[in-house]
Amino acid sequence: MSATTAVPAALDQRSLTDLLARCARRHGVPGAQVAVHHDGRTVAAAFGERESGTGGPVTADTAFPVGSITKAVTATVVLALAADGDLELDEPTGSYVPGLATAADSTIRQLLSHTGGLPCGPAPEQVAGLSVQRYLRHAVRPELMVLPPGAGFSYSNVGYVLLGEVVSSVTGMSWADAIDSMLLRPLGVATDLVGAPAFPHSGRPVATGHSRHTRTGRTRPVRQCLVPAEAAAGALALSATDLVAFGRLHVDGGVPEVLPAAYAARMRDVVPGALPFGLARGWGLGLAAFGEAPYDWFGHDGNADGTDCHLRIDPAGGRVVALTTNVGAGSGMWQDLATELQSRGIPLDDGLPLDDTRPVTTADCVGTYRNGDLTYEVVPGGPSGLRFSVDGEATEPLALGADLTFYLHDESSDRWTVGGRFVRENRTGPVNAVQVGGRIGRRCVAALI
């Protein structure tokens, strides 16, 4: 289907509502929204309850905690400041946020693309109650660097907290005030934040996140526990139509008074060597790339406590698709919905590549891997030869795939799911890292005595 054809009849509001309800029931999702923008028109639908069992309906205006999609919003404000000449993308971050030692040698461009070498982030209990400045002094230290700046991709909340501080330093405003005044308000989007009680709430309803036990179907509400200092990496609550309004910066000529088209395109410039296995095909300056090169689709996914949200943008086709759900296991529903939309003329493609088919043995992978304060342990044992644990938690059976991908066994549902991949040194050498959720854990080598 060409980008100039009309919205398919199968995507009118009634049929989209039926599709959303069918997918949500199939996957046990208490409440959800979907919005599809195509050929200059947006169709949206809502389903279910804001909190399971309460009867409070999800409407088009309900905000969902969108987690890491917040990073795309932060990145957009950074690019808008670059467009105005207020910062340089290739300047070291320390030029804008002094006092962070050598780890701040990462550039703005590298932080935007998760190639700055910073760790994912500290455990919440380590930084609860800290200001952003104290959080960064704790998390941005040379000894916690995962990779040298520019050496590879490792997903980092810390990098986006640092970008939020860059925004504050350059604008003289808080990060929240800056995204509200520079981006969301001009787009007609209300600014609602979780974990930020000092920022005024718009008054619209916010969906409650849920956990769902796959085998029993038991669904329970969960509390949002975002550390306030990490707001720039994950604090926003938005609706599916809000996400479409944001995505339209990249289609139909964009919104140049907010972000010039040339700078929107920079957000989609895939960085060579940025390999976000398990998350996307590639990464630009704030947006991930999906599908086959030259990458028709861009966007970001986000998980808050008990929510799962997705944004996809097809700049050439003038399409934007957004899904919000209030259950932490909503990714299965996203895949189901994407397949249904493909049959209705929206060619979503989230396929991930196999990038290494050379054999590797279980012994090649045994070891301890670290990302900042986070520790991954791979030990012998289990039905497939290996077991996996995070920060000393109970181990799970691990099975190796043909391309260094590994699969973990969820005993509650008796299902194997993709857990991550092992990474070779310089792509051809021995296994020296593990990548889980896009986060690189470097293999630890015991000191010789």
Residue 206, strand partner residues = 63
User: 152 Cβ partners below 8 Å, 6+ apart?
Assistant: 115, 273, 274, 275, 440
**What pLDDT is recorded for position 26?**
93
How many residues in total does the chain contain?
449
Binned at pLDDT 50, 70 and 90, residue 403 comes out as confident
Q: What angle do CA 428, 433, 434 make, to 5 degrees?
A: 115
**What pLDDT is recorded for position 274?**
86
Which residue would you say has higher pLDDT here, 191 or 402? 191
pLDDT, mean over the chain:
89
Q: What angle do CA 161, 327, 278 make, to 5 degrees?
A: 60
Residue 398, strand partner residues = 386, 408
Using an 8 Å Cβ cutoff, are 299 and 287 in contact? Answer: yes
Q: Which of 143-147, 312-316, 346-350, 411-415 has the highest mean pLDDT?
A: 312-316
Q: Is the pLDDT of residue 9 over 60?
A: no
> Taking the mean position of all CA atoms in its chain, how far away is CA 401?
24
Q: Is the pLDDT of residue 447 over 60?
A: no
For the ranges 92-101, 164-173, 406-415, the lowest mean pLDDT is seen at 406-415
* Average pLDDT rounded to a whole number, residues 379-390: 91
User: What ranges in 235-330 are assigned the alpha helix state H?
Assistant: 240-247, 261-267
Q: Is the pLDDT of residue 311 over 80?
A: yes
pLDDT in tens, 343-367: 888 998 876 554 555 667 888 899 9
Q: Is the pLDDT of residue 326 over 90?
A: yes
Q: Strand 64-65 relative to strand 236-238: parallel, antiparallel, unpaired?
A: antiparallel
* Average pLDDT rounded to a whole number, residues 74-84: 98
Q: Is the pLDDT of residue 213 over 80?
A: no
CATH of region 19-353, choose from 2.40.128.90, 3.40.50.300, 3.40.710.10, 3.40.47.10: 3.40.710.10
Q: Is the pLDDT of residue 388 over 70?
A: yes
Tokens of 26: 């199939």
Instruction: Order the strands of the 236-238 sheet from edge to edge.
Output: 64-65, 236-238, 192-193
Residue 283, strand partner residues = 288
The string over 108-134, giving b where at least 16 C-beta atoms fall within 10 Å of a residue's C-beta and e elsewhere, is bbbbbbbbbbbbbbbeeeebeebebee
Binned at pLDDT 50, 70 and 90, residue 104 comes out as low
**Residues involved in catalysis:** 68
**What pLDDT is recorded for position 415?**
76
Place of tokens 């195509």: 38
Binned at pLDDT 50, 70 and 90, residue 240 comes out as very high
SS3 324: strand
Q: Which of 369, 405, 352 is nearest to 119 (CA)?
A: 369
Which residue would you say has higher pLDDT here, 383 or 51? 51
**What pLDDT is recorded for position 196?**
80
List the domain boundaries for the chain: 19-353, 362-443
Binned at pLDDT 50, 70 and 90, residue 413 comes out as low
Percent of the chain with pLDDT over 70: 92
Q: Is the pLDDT of residue 341 over 90?
A: yes
Q: Does 8 sit behind a cis peptide bond, omega within 30 degrees of 0 on the bond before it?
A: no
**What pLDDT is recorded for position 63?**
98
Give me the sign of the Cα torsion angle 269, 274, 279, 285. Answer: negative
CATH of region 362-443, choose from 2.120.10, 3.90.640, 2.40.128, 3.40.1350: 2.40.128
Which residue would you say has higher pLDDT here, 215 or 98? 98
User: What ranges in 172-251 are assigned the alpha helix state H?
Assistant: 175-179, 231-234, 240-247
pLDDT in tens, 241-285: 999 999 999 999 999 999 999 999 999 999 998 889 888 999 999
Q: Is the pLDDT of residue 448 over 60?
A: no
Provide DSSP, 158-192: HHHHHHHHHHHHHHSS-HHHHHIIIIITTTT---E
Binned at pLDDT 50, 70 and 90, residue 1 comes out as very low
Rounded CA-CA distance 253/251 in Å is: 6
Which residue would you say has higher pLDDT here, 129 or 44? 44
Helix (H), strand (E), coil (C) string for 28-78: CCCEEEEEEEECCEEEEEEEEECCCCCCCECCCCCEEECCCHHHHHHHHHH
